[in-house]
Chain A
Amino acid sequence: SQQGEEDPQALSIQEGENATMNCSYKTSINNLQWYRQNSGRGLVHLILIRSNEREKHSGRLRVTLDTSKKSSSLLITASRAADTASYFCATGSTSGTYKYIFGTGTRLKVLA
């Protein structure tokens, strides 16, 4: 079954506002990653957080991980129109075969 579930499914904000997306997963993970997909393009890696980390920053991105709740959040601060895209979380598990399970994605629209 699908590992990651993003929430909300769609988000529309004004430029300059912050955007927060959440991801929940079901089983033990080794790491959790966030990817961005622009329309008609492939996914681009944004940030990886390991299971022993609680928070990570990269530029305007802030990711948190709560393994007790099996959830993660991605915060994009001071959003720009260019941030308009779909955002996916992906979990890397060490149980069984090594593979990355993607969630359903959050479609973010940043209005100029």
Chain B
Amino acid sequence: DTAVSQTPKYLVTQMGNDKSIKCEQNLGHDTMYWYKQDSKKFLKIMFSYNNKELIINETVPNRFSPKSPDKAHLNLHINSLELGDSAVYFCASSPRDRGSEKLFFGSGTQLSVL
């Protein structure tokens, strides 16, 4: 059973489109995250939710809107896609938001904006 699953794995779209990436974890964790990994493999946190509540928003453009319908799901919606949004997006979860627990990552969504 996949612990943290995200869909789709690949997403190719045109500039200006709106797209969503879904993430679900079956680990019973309270905290979920979205990370963006650029072409140089630099991994940057975007958002963190603890029990459906937003706790970290790292100056991400407001075209990116996370949605957490329950603590097992954290979806990422992106409006008006731009070329610079092309990257791999990773969802992750952790047991507690204390900065002291390990992260469990999904396998990533490779977004290509043409």
B103: A residues at CB distance < 8 A: 33, 35, 43, 45, 90, 100
Within 8 A of A (CB), among B100-114: 100, 102-108
A35: B residues at CB distance < 8 A: 103, 105
Nearest-neighbour CB distance to chain A for B28, whole angstroms, equals: 17
Nearest-neighbour CB distance to chain B for A83, whole angstroms, equals: 17
Evaluate contact between B40 and A42: CB separation under 8 angstroms. Answer: no
Interface majority SS (helix, strand, loop, mixed), chain A: strand
Given the known inter-chain contacts A50-B100, A88-B43, please indicate yes or no for A97 contacting B105, CB distance below 8 A: no
For chain A, the count of residues having a C-beta within 8 Å of the partner chain is 29
Evaluate contact between A43 and B90: CB separation under 8 angstroms. Answer: yes
A68 at the interface (CB under 8 A from B): no
Cα–Cα distance between A50 and B35 once the two chains are bound (Å): 23
Some 8 contacts from A to B, beta carbons below 8 A apart, are: A42-B105, A43-B90, A43-B103, A45-B102, A88-B43, A93-B99, A99-B45, A100-B33
